[in-house]
């Protein structure tokens, strides 16, 4: 058994360094079979995250080949695929890195139990988070419901140093048949948008590490004050790479610690944002319903609207509110959206348009290349007022006021709104290249009138809030 092959079931851990499962596998000296499974849970991803994950798989496959092993690609339910590979290769175990969203937890629990019952070694590893969600407890032994106490409790906790990348791996004697990544057509739902969004992706471990280095060489110094300005390159832009596992969170954390110890002004704020990501996973583990239902159940009776025509204008970046529309178009062009813009767009949908946060969450899940089940559910519910540690509902972002404060010169809005310029730039024009032809949008069209007067929308939202509390 000690020399039997190990199947490494890869998911969102597509990197060589800071990869606990891979480090342990390399140290075992056993023959290794890396596998990526296109199972129903992965098939269910939205258009942009599924396409982006495919790029990560392709890049990591090449990295593994350079170390002497091949990645096998198979499609089907995970347990069926893994059982078939065990039968084909005589593998004695299956290892994987843990995921924490409800669907993955159900799948992985079934897989582990079944494989163990069949006498196989089924082992899961940490690697996607700094701290396992169940490992951080309050003084009373429960979980944290508010971020600031969570941050105080975890800020000084030890974090293991990231493991180094192996330089050579031992593969199996005979490689099983593999499907072709191109045949999976993971980007099919992107349609013509893929060619546009691809320009903004930094795919693979080396590209992710370059992003981190660029951030730490400059923007980190002013991160605290500049991270809210969408026209400024003031953030790390690592969310896309973290969600695919192209860079390890421990590597990023320790880099942030070094920057803080060197006296870099914004490093502490950067570390705090990494902890916010951890907190979202902490909450998703303890209250998995957060991804699909109001975390505060008293909000179940709130009169949010379901999908509607005004929400459709929001999706298309045609609300007539320039800051909101710029945000929505940024997402369609680049695959991501600045965090300040996310808050403004989400507030406008849930409050000015009185549309349910799930309407927006579903659209983000389809369009974001950095889609993360915990962080995005947390973000939407925080803005809507229905979630943990939420901004109160009556805290309604005014898009015009936010624009004056965080985009005073209009650089962000002009960057993505062709209608606001006599000579639109390439990114403003790229939006019309990326959107479905069925939308019938063209840069020469007049910019739309606002869907709703901001004061009226605010008053409507506050009236609904007040009625619910009466």
Residue at 183 is within a domain: no
Token duo for residue 413: 């809005």
Q: Are both 120 and 12 inside the same structural domain? A: yes
Q: What is the pLDDT of residues 252-279, one digit of tens each?
A: 999 999 999 999 999 999 999 999 999 9
pLDDT recorded at residue 391 = 66
Please, which residues have CB within 8 angstroms of residue 135's CB and are 6 or more apart in sequence?
none
Q: Are both 137 and 123 inside the same structural domain? A: no
Q: Are both 341 and 376 inside the same structural domain? A: yes
Q: What is the pLDDT of residues 283-339, one digit of tens each?
A: 999 999 999 999 999 899 999 999 999 999 999 999 999 999 999 999 999 999 999
The 10 Å Cβ neighbour count of residue 25 is 24
Q: Are both 96 and 215 inside the same structural domain? A: no
Q: What is the pLDDT of residues 54-106, one digit of tens each?
A: 999 999 999 999 999 999 999 999 999 999 999 999 999 999 999 999 999 99
Residue at 182 is within a domain: no
Indicate the pTM of the whole model. Answer: 0.96
Burial code (b: 16+ CB inside 10 Å, e: under 16) for 331-342 equals bbbbbbbbebbb
Nearest to 120 by CA among 90, 97, 80: 90
Q: Are both 326 and 435 inside the same structural domain? A: yes
For residues 73 and 38, is the Cβ–Cβ distance under 8 A?
Answer: yes
Q: What is the pLDDT of residues 207-250, one digit of tens each?
A: 999 999 999 999 999 999 999 999 999 999 999 999 999 999 99
Residue at 75 is within a domain: yes
Q: What is the pLDDT of residues 377-432, one digit of tens each?
A: 999 999 999 998 766 777 899 999 999 999 999 999 999 999 998 899 999 999 99
Token duo for residue 194: 């893929």
Of 127, 142, 176, at which residue does a domain stop?
127
CATH number at residue 432: 1.10.579.10
Q: Mean pLDDT throughout 167-196? A: 96
List C-alpha distances in Å: 206 to 212, 246, 274: 10, 8, 20
pLDDT recorded at residue 469 = 67
Q: Are both 57 and 137 inside the same structural domain? A: no
Q: Are both 280 and 316 inside the same structural domain? A: no
Q: How confident is the model at residue 3 (pLDDT cuts 50, 70, 90)?
A: confident
Q: Are both 431 and 308 inside the same structural domain? A: yes
Q: What is the pLDDT of residues 425-451, one digit of tens each?
A: 999 999 999 999 999 999 889 999 999
The 10 Å Cβ neighbour count of residue 316 is 18
> Coil, strand, or helix at residue 392?
coil
Of 102, 127, 152, at which residue does a domain stop?
127
On the question of pLDDT at 23 being above 60, the answer is: yes
DSSP single-letter state for residue 164: P
Task: Residue 272: give the domain boundaries.
Answer: 129-161+193-286
CA–CA dist 36, 25 (Å, integer): 16
Number of domains making up the chain: 3
Mean pLDDT of the chain: 96
Q: What is the percent of the chain with per-residue pLDDT over 90, rounded to a whole number?
A: 95
Please, which residues have CB within 8 angstroms of residue 151's CB and are 6 or more apart in sequence?
272, 275, 276, 279
């Amino acid at each position: 058994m000690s020399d039997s092959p190990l199947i490494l079931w890869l998911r969102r851990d597509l990197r060589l360094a800071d990869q606990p499962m891979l480090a342990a596998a390399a140290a075992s000296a056993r023959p290794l079979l890396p596998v990526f499974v296109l199972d129903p849970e992965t098939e269910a991803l939205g258009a942009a995250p599924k396409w982006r994950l495919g790029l990560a798989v392709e890049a990591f496959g090449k990295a593994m080949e350079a170390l002497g092993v091949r990645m096998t690609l198979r499609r089907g339910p995970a347990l069926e695929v893994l059982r078939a590979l065990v039968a084909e290769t005589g593998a004695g175990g299956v290892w994987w890195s843990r995921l924490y969203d409800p669907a993955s937890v159900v799948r992985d629990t079934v897989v582990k139990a079944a494989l163990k019952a069949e006498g196989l070694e089924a082992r899961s590893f940490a690697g996607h988070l700094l701290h396992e969600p169940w490992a951080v407890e309050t003084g009373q032994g429960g979980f944290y419901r508010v971020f600031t106490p969570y941050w105080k409790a975890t800020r000084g906790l030890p974090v293991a140093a990231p493991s180094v990348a192996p330089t050579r791996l031992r593969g199996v004697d005979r490689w099983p048949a593999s499907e072709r990544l191109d045949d999976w057509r993971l980007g099919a739902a992107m349609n013509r948008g893929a060619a546009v969004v691809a320009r903004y992706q930094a795919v693979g471990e080396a590209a992710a590490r370059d992003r981190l280095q660029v951030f730490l060489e400059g923007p980190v110094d002013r991160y605290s004050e500049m991270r809210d300005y969408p026209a400024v390159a003031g953030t790390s832009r690592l969310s896309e790479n973290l969600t695919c596992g192209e860079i390890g969170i421990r590597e990023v954390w320790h880099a942030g610690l070094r920057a803080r110890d060197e006296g870099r002004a914004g490093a502490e704020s950067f570390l705090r944002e990494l902890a916010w990501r951890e907190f979202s996973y902490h909450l998703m583990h303890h209250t998995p319903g957060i991804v699909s239902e109001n975390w505060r159940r008293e909000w179940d009776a709130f009169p949010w609207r379901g999908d509607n025509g005004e929400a459709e204008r929001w999706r298309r970046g045609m609300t007539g509110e320039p800051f909101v529309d710029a945000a929505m178009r940024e997402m369609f062009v680049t695959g991501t959206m600045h965090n300040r813009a996310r808050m403004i767009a989400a507030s406008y949908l849930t409050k000015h348009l009185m549309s349910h946060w799930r309407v927006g969450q579903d659209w983000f899940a389809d369009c974001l290349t950095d889609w993360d089940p915990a962080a995005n559910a947390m973000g939407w519910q925080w803005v809507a007022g229905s979630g943990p540690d939420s901004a109160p509902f009556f805290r309604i972002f005014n898009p015009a006021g936010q624009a004056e404060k965080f985009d005073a010169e209009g650089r962000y809005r002009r960057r993505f709104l062709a209608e606001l310029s006599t000579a639109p730039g390439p990114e403003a024009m790229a939006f019309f290249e990326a959107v479905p032809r069925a939308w019938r949008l063209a840069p020469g069209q007049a910019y739309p009138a606002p869907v709703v007067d901001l004061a009226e929308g605010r008053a409507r939202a506050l009236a609904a809030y007040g009625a619910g509390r009466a």
